[in-house]
Amino acid sequence: MGTEGDNVRVIGGRYRLEARIGRGGMGVVWRSTDTLLARQVAVKELAVDESLSEAQAHEQRERMLREARAVAQLRHPNIIVVHDVVQHDGRPYIVMDLVNGGSLADRIARHGPVDALHAARIGLALLGALRVAHAAGVLHRDLKPANVLLESGTARIVLTDFGIAQVEGATTLTETGGFVGSPEYTAPERMAGDRSGTGADLWSLGALLCAALSGESPFRRDSMGGILHAVVYEEFRPPAEAAPLLPVIQGLLEREPARRMGLDEAERLLRAYVATGATPQAAPPRMVVVAGTDVVVVHRRRVPTRVLLVAAAFLAAVAGAGVAAAALLADRDDNASQGPPSSTSVPTRTGTASGSPTPTVTVTREETRTATPRPTAPPGYRTVRDPQGFTVAVPQGFSRSVDGERVLYMSPRRTFRIGVRTAGPLSGGPAAEQRRAAADGPRSDPGYRDGKVTDTSHDAHDAALWEFTRDGFSAAEGPRRTMDLCWEEGGRAYHVWVSAPVGRIDEARGYFDAAVDTFVPSAGN
């Protein structure tokens, strides 16, 4: 038992819990004293589901402790320091560094939003923390302003509360026991129940940056159903305050994980803003929103139908969300080629008082290529018109070569390789094509492993993303990761892929996103 007296407990034989300084969905945080080393620490008392059987509760505690120990191995100036992990009276506790200062959420509540320069510096600090965590296979899964500490008297920004973190590849009890996290900052793939990767943390960062600049999450609504609807369906309407960092925020809030901005690209753009006060702009696909007599052009990406359907079912289970779910299902985008651009009425961001009808806007989708122009080449890239019948943006300094049916653009020393292959119609479509290739991977690619095929879309065309790791072409090169997107368009099939060392995959995602976003088949190809 802990030592009781004057409402003070001692756990682990040395940590005296003195005052509660925070509470969240995963437990209570105490200002404490390490009596052995005579220093102040923070102790998080993790909540345990009291409805579990004794065996289940034991399993939950053990998993929490394993995950906490994994987080304790992380070392970065912008990650909270974990000193110890203990179990006391059947309950797990995490002993952490005590950061004197409030959270970003406290800062916003007391003083309002931060300016763009401060937000960019917060973003850079969190990207540095996520880089280290992701490299160690740790996903945070609850990135939000309340979990970002601003140390008083210094400029240090600290990411904390890895209490629901997940070790990549492991199934955790916090995951299997139900949804855990903050819905306003949760990526659509997690809402849909998919196993999420590092991109889910980057989505959360995009929502956090928007909140830091405007004062609230862009997905805040009056109900859980409204939040889920906003995350998986509604067009992102950036607040005016987000304009200085909008290219980063939009890139991070890309709904399709395969097209979401990578960590390296987000870091590059934020550093550019800090250095120059200006962020490079890109022109993503768009749609037209008609509200009354006003016409507003906003940025758009197609939401995968599977995500819409799963989210709609989830919404229907939430009290008061039936209407939102019905609207979502009625407006699903199964096949843009089945008819002319459609219109639907959807709720605006907030309702009206006294039970008056919720205002609506009419959304008209433009699905033709002429209505959704490709982004121009990002800074540091050049647009090439390839003799094989396509244009694409590739980084400056990449050289071209041809390997059979494949066109390759490679960095010096072949570290990064961007590939394009065109073919005739596919038997069974892109998904079948990619799954055949994945099944053949162990034979065709030495050391093939961690293969995964994900159904997705590309500019309203069905597509499939194949990701896998293989041995490098030499022992010195090490293992490599490949991302390969396949889709059919105009009677032809297209593959665009990027291959890179496993340790530099985030940088490669930036190249991949640029290639996919700017790829255009030549007329008549």
**For position 484, which CATH number holds?**
3.40.1000.10
Decide: helix, strand or coil at residue 152.
coil
* Same domain for 79 and 211: no
* Same domain for 132 and 90: no
Catalytic pick among 34, 49, 142, 484 = 142
Q: Are 495 and 419 in contact (CB under 8 A)?
A: yes
* Same domain for 217 and 144: yes
* Same domain for 257 and 138: yes
Residues 35 and 33: their CA atoms lie apart, in Å, by 6
pLDDT tens profile 174-188: 343 444 558 899 999
Return the higher-pLDDT residue of 333 and 445.
445
Q: Are 242 and 214 in contact (CB under 8 A)?
A: yes
* Same domain for 239 and 273: yes
Residue 63 lies in a domain: yes
Q: Report residue 181 CA to chain centroid gap.
A: 13
H-run or E-run covering 407: strand 406-410
CATH of residue 248's domain is: 1.10.510.10
Residue 347 lies in a domain: no
pLDDT for res 166: 54
Predicted model pTM: 0.54
| pLDDT, average across residues 196-210 | 93
Domain final residue pick, 97, 113, 130: 97
Decide: helix, strand or coil at residue 400.
strand
pLDDT tier for residue 90 given thresholds of 50, 70 and 90: confident
pLDDT tier for residue 144 given thresholds of 50, 70 and 90: very high
Domain final residue pick, 97, 121, 136: 97
* Same domain for 126 and 72: no
Domain final residue pick, 47, 64, 97: 97
Residue 374 lies in a domain: no
Domain ranges, residue 456 = 381-521
* Same domain for 153 and 42: no
Q: Within 253-392, where are the H helices?
A: 263-276, 305-317, 322-330
Residue 291 lies in a domain: no
End-to-end CA distance of the chain: 75
Residues 9 and 31: their CA atoms lie apart, in Å, by 12
pLDDT tens profile 356-412: 333 333 333 333 333 344 557 777 889 999 999 999 999 999 999 998 889 999 998
CATH of residue 64's domain is: 3.30.200.20
Residue 408 lies in a domain: yes
Concatenating the DSSP letter of every residue in 473-522 gives SSTTT--EEEEEEEEEETTEEEEEEEEEEGGGHHHHHHHHHHHHHH-EEP
* Same domain for 119 and 70: no
* Same domain for 191 and 255: yes
Residue 511 lies in a domain: yes
Q: Which residue has the tokens 């939003």?
A: 113
pLDDT for res 18: 93
pLDDT tens profile 286-330: 333 333 333 333 334 444 444 444 444 444 444 343 333 333 333
Residues 270 and 444: their CA atoms lie apart, in Å, by 40
H-run or E-run covering 363: strand 360-364
142 is catalytic: yes
Q: Are 57 and 49 in contact (CB under 8 A)?
A: yes
Q: What average pLDDT does the structure give for the chain? A: 76
Residue 501 lies in a domain: yes
Comparing CA positions, the residue from 186, 180, 184, 202 lying closest to residue 129 is: 202
* Same domain for 83 and 140: no
* Same domain for 54 and 13: yes
H-run or E-run covering 15: strand 15-24
Residue at 432: amino acid letter: A
* Same domain for 512 and 466: yes
Count of the separate structural domains present in the chain: 3
Residue 440 lies in a domain: yes
Burial degree of 411 (CB within 10 A; 0-12, 13-18, 19+)? middle
